[in-house]
Chains A and B, each alone.
Chain A
């Protein structure tokens, strides 16, 4: 089995129109109370930078204000092909954000309109897929979530 690289792992995290791919996004309050929720709009923006659309963040947004640590894992459909956890720092890019965050907001702000979640069964999708913000994740490390190698760092090449 080839040694995975961040490139191949990030490719598994990309959105797939009409296929529906979900990642689990975990955040935590500064006191350490965790939160985990599935996200459909997740993609690699560049290098080690991933982006997730804030369609309806609730506790996630509150947590990010006080603690930028995030972790994500692929949940559906092919978790077995991507048994990794990505750890990083998350920051919200929104209207008026300066610098790099502003650039990423401009690039991804109409994501929902461009790629509406038409594959999601009725009753499970958002009523209005418009971005309120974009979560920008600077990935710092990737670890295995396989039972036999859980927690081992993925080697960077």
Chain B
């Protein structure tokens, strides 16, 4: 399955740090912060996760692989796109260094993307759009004014 990753969506996910939520069966949850994110394809997102955060959050993902992601910083305002997916693997060191140059001891974590939602408040809140085409989503962004220069 592929996700309609528009140019604008990619831009904001890769520009900002990414907040990601993990949960255990039973409902306990936590939030981690990825310092960088890179789309590896239209169905996989790589996250650069500081090693200590990974050591603390890995047990959540081993119990339940689902992850919910949202851009932070200005992306929290201008990029109201929530991705959901499942933890797939950690990048090998060489691949990690290619995807995230200068990552130090951070861990490269790969999320297999499954779902995409709009988080803009209003009638669009919670709208699931991963079954849309990229053209449909780009048109939707245009209708909301998100493609105007000042909103990039």
Residues from chain A with Cβ under 8 Å of B40 in the complex: none
Residue from the list B22, B73, B122, B126 in contact with A34, Cβ < 8 A: B22
Contact A79 B72 (CB under 8 A): yes
Q: Which residues of B contact A (CB under 8 A)?
A: 17, 19-33, 35, 50, 52-53, 56, 63-64, 66-70, 72-74, 76-78, 80, 82, 84, 106, 117, 119-123, 125-126, 144-146, 148, 150-151
Dominant secondary structure at the A interface: loop
B-contacting residues of A (Cβ < 8 Å)? 20, 22, 24, 26-38, 40, 55-59, 66-73, 75-77, 79, 85, 87, 120-128, 143, 145, 147-151
Residues of B within 8 A of A40 (CB): 121
Does A36 contact B151, Cβ atoms closer than 8 Å? no
Q: Are A22 and B76 in contact (CB under 8 A)?
A: yes
CB distance from B71 to the nearest CB of A (A): 8
Contacts of A147 in B (CB 8 A): 35, 50, 52-53, 106
Contact across chains for A69 and B28 when beta carbons are under 8 A apart: yes
Q: From the candidates B23, B53, B117, B148, name the one contacting A32 in the complex (CB within 8 A).
A: B23
Kindly list the 6 A-B residue pairs having the minimum CB-CB distance in the complex, ordered from nearest: A58-B126, A147-B50, A123-B145, A28-B23, A26-B21, A67-B27
A31–B53 Cα distance when bound, in Å, is 23
Measured CA separation A58–B76 after assembly (Å): 17
Docked Cα-Cα span, A76 to B75, in Å, equals 8
Residue of B nearest to A73 (CB): B31
A148 to B78, CA, bound (A): 29
Question: Which of chain B's residues have a CB closer than 8 A to the CB of A55?
Answer: 121
Q: How many A-B residue pairs have CB under 8 A?
A: 162
Please state if A75 and B19 are interface contacts (CB–CB under 8 Å).
yes
B73: A residues at CB distance < 8 A: 75-77, 79
Instruction: Report yes or no: B33 in contact with A145, Cβ–Cβ below 8 A.
Output: yes
Known: A34-B66, A37-B82. A71 touches B29 (CB 8 A): yes
Inter-chain contact A124/B80, CB cutoff 8 Å: yes
**A36–B75 alpha-carbon span in the complex (Å):** 14
Q: Judging by beta carbons under 8 Å apart, are A71 and B50 in contact? A: no
Q: In this complex, which of A57, A70, A76, A123 has the most chain B Cβ atoms within 10 angstroms of its Cβ? A: A123
Partner of B119, one of A30, A38, A72, A79: A38
For residue B26, which residues in chain A have a CB less than 8 angstroms away from its CB? Answer: 30, 32
Residues of chain B with a CB closer than 8 A to A28's CB? 21, 23, 27, 29
Please determine whether B151 and A145 come into contact, CB atoms closer than 8 angstroms: no
19 contacts between A and B (CB under 8 A): A26-B68, A28-B23, A29-B27, A32-B26, A32-B64, A33-B68, A33-B84, A34-B66, A36-B31, A57-B125, A59-B117, A59-B126, A71-B21, A73-B33, A79-B17, A85-B31, A121-B77, A121-B150, A148-B50
